[in-house]
Structure 1
Amino acid sequence: MAHFFFFQLLPLLIMSLLMIPSAHANLFVEYIGALYTGVKFTDVPINPGITNFQFVLAFGIDYTASAPHTPTDGHFNVFWDNGNLGASQIAAIKASHPNVKVALSIGGDTVGGTPVQFSPSSVDAWVANAVSSLTGLINQYHLDGIDIDYEHFGTTTPDTFAECIGRLITTLKSSGAIRFASIAPFPAVDQYYTALWRKYGSVINHVNYQFYAYDSSTTVPQFLGYFNAASAKYSGGNVLVSFSTQSPAGGLLPGKGFWRAADTLKSQGKLHGIFVWTADSSKSNGFSWDSQAQSVLVS
């Protein structure tokens, strides 16, 4: 009788397990520090219902700290608003909000007005330098993870990029320096990031896809198509949807259908999280969209 009763309940048990949302569905990511608007961690609303709230410092760059900025072959320096977002502020926000983690995004678009080029002298040299310098920054600033946001590659091949970044993440995870890693691709650079994904996707926790790189005329159906295309490129990964609060912004904006698109993906079990570029510019509108994005995730 007990066995019969168990098998009667088994379908219900399976159904209930299938209905449990993924842990990644409650992930909110906020880039911060790149625009030097004086924004602080404490300015940003943090919904306690968000299981995993990640601040991502923008940026750590392997260029000289002083102008004229030149590549340093994997020796990273601070290029975020360290005055307002320093080690003590990071320790404080994490102590007051147990759901908060802080990561460092490396690379970025420009430094001193010129493109940040990914230009390793060799895989071995760049990885050795990057592991050493980033481990120092991770320890100094109490960081939990890294994000990869290189956008310019010069003569570097996708395979070289994949090997450098893949070995970097693998080494930092193996040493216990970081607990998670993300990547931030967009259509124009997918060939580099898909090469990385094919070989090292198992060490990448989520994909902060820059959907705001698309045109500002993007419609809800188009956005959903872009999401499905990105999910196919990074098959098996947790692709986050995104919007930008920096003007002018591309992609699908809140107020133009983003919330409808997010609700659609949520109903399909595809909403792995939301990220916002950037807290620096969200400050001017009181973080209204950032708050609403978190509400969508916890509702």
Structure 2
Amino acid sequence: MMRHWKLFLALVLFQAYATQIFTQAAVFREYIGANFENVRFSDVPINPNVEVHFILSFAIDYTTGSSPNPTNGKFNVFWDADNLGPSQVLSIKRQHKNVKVALSIGGDTVGSKHVNFTAFSVDSWVSNAVTSLTRVIKQYNLDGIDIDYEHFNVAPDIFSQCIGRVVTTLKKNRVISFASIAPFDDGDVQRHYMALWKSYGRVFDYVNFQFYAYDKGTTIAQFLRYFDTQVANYNGGKVLVSFSTDSSGGLKPDNGFFTACEKLRSQRKLNGIFVWSADNSKASGFSYERQSQALLVKAK
């Protein structure tokens, strides 16, 4: 009897592990709140058979006044908190058990300035970031963090130590359950993120590679080559494919993005899809979000 019970328990654990793998392989992620278009979580279609991550954009370690300045790791909320506040986060997660919500830190600009990653020292930045991010994450009942710095006032090794230590601490303290990075194909950006990946890649669950930062008119063949290149750069990571619903470049849905996804799916390389952003998709009714999630259901 004991032998049968152990076999049963092993099968249950294996099934749970397999379910986790399949769920992770079918993740759909969307940035939301950066452009203050009054978009709400409930506006975005949610397929119950796909894990859906909303990524609030952005929390930034800058002051909130008319002339923002770096704060050495003390983060403030810069997304549309009126429509995407703590009560709305709690509501969407209660209504949809397959939904998780994260925040993204950094971004391209704040006010009319570039958001430059700035640390007075590694220890002080890490201490401030852990304290301020923990406060925001708990206030908003969030599940994860995304790293989206695009400009830097520090060397790659300093960026790596600061971000790597913060994410490691937040996970160790069980403040977050997942983390991602959002690099793109720029020399300085890649130097910083690949240094981070080399030292701390193990603590990141997803690579939200910004394929829409490639040139407009990207072809399917080019897109697939770009994907393989970034999989090699971020070896061992779950690299997600992406498109934008604004005027950015890359391979657009109308020009073959989903054809490329089907090719990756057939090769068992489709780890998930993310979109920039819900704010831009609102005007067209989120048709590409529906199509993305339907495709991901087939990828499970």
Calculate the TM-score normalised by the size of structure 1. Answer: 0.92
Q: Is 2:63 the partner of 1:64?
A: yes
Once the two structures are superposed, the pairs formed by residues 124-135 of structure 1 within 5 Å of their partners are 124-135=123-134
Q: Is the 8 A contact 1:42 1:93 kept in 2?
A: yes
Distance in structure 2 (CA, Å) of the matches to 1:223 and 1:245? 17
Instruction: Specify the alignment match of 1:163 in structure 2.
Output: 161
Distance in structure 1 (CA, Å) of the matches to 2:117 and 2:21? 37
Give CA-to-partner distance per residue, 1:239-296, whole Å, 9 cap, x none.
Answer: 00000001x1200000101011000000001000000000001000000011101011
The Cα shift of 1:24 comes to 2.4
Instruction: Specify the alignment match of 2:261 in structure 1.
Output: 262
Once the two structures are superposed, the pairs formed by residues 67-86 of structure 1 within 5 Å of their partners are 67-86=66-85
The Cα shift of 1:65 comes to 1.1
Give the AA of the match of 2:278.
A
Give CA-to-partner distance per residue, 1:127-162, whole Å, 9 cap, x none.
Answer: 0000000000011000000000000003x1000000
Unmatched tracts of structure 2, length 5 or more:
1-16
Give the AA of the match of 1:223.
F
Give CA-to-partner distance per residue, 1:178-206, whole Å, 9 cap, x none.
Answer: 00000000011111111000110110001
Instruction: Specify the alignment match of 1:5 in structure 2.
Output: none
Instruction: Specify the alignment match of 1:9 in structure 2.
Output: none
Distance in structure 2 (CA, Å) of the matches to 1:25 and 1:78? 30
Distance in structure 2 (CA, Å) of the matches to 1:195 and 1:294? 32
Q: Is the 8 A contact 1:41 1:85 kept in 2?
A: yes
- Secondary structure of 2:117's counterpart equals coil
Identity %: 58
Distance in structure 1 (CA, Å) of the matches to 2:118 and 2:62? 10
Unmatched tracts of structure 1, length 5 or more:
1-16
Once the two structures are superposed, the pairs formed by residues 132-211 of structure 1 within 5 Å of their partners are 132-154=131-153, 156-188=154-186, 189-211=189-211
- Secondary structure of 2:151's counterpart equals coil
Once the two structures are superposed, the pairs formed by residues 1-299 of structure 1 within 5 Å of their partners are 22-50=22-50, 52-154=51-153, 156-188=154-186, 189-246=189-246, 248-299=247-298
Distance in structure 2 (CA, Å) of the matches to 1:236 and 1:268? 16
- Secondary structure of 2:152's counterpart equals coil
Q: Is the 8 A contact 1:184 1:207 kept in 2?
A: yes
Distance in structure 1 (CA, Å) of the matches to 2:248 and 2:195? 28
Q: Is the 8 A contact 1:24 1:238 kept in 2?
A: no
Give CA-to-partner distance per residue, 1:17-54, whole Å, 9 cap, x none.
Answer: 99x9743221000100000000000000000110x210
Give the AA of the match of 1:216.
K
Distance in structure 2 (CA, Å) of the matches to 1:128 and 1:191? 24
Distance in structure 2 (CA, Å) of the matches to 1:232 and 1:22? 22
Instruction: Specify the alignment match of 2:7 in structure 1.
Output: none
Give the AA of the match of 2:158.
T
Compare 196-205 and 20-29 and name the one that shifted more: 20-29
Calculate the TM-score normalised by the size of structure 2. Answer: 0.91
- Secondary structure of 2:254's counterpart equals coil
Q: Is the 8 A contact 1:45 1:291 kept in 2?
A: yes
- Secondary structure of 2:118's counterpart equals coil
Give the AA of the match of 1:48.
P
- Secondary structure of 2:179's counterpart equals strand
Q: 1:153 to 1:73 in 2, by over 3 A?
A: same
Give the AA of the match of 1:244.
S
Q: Which runs of 4+ in 1 moved over 4 A?
A: none
Give the AA of the match of 1:170.
T
Distance in structure 1 (CA, Å) of the matches to 2:170 and 2:100? 16
- Secondary structure of 1:191's counterpart equals helix
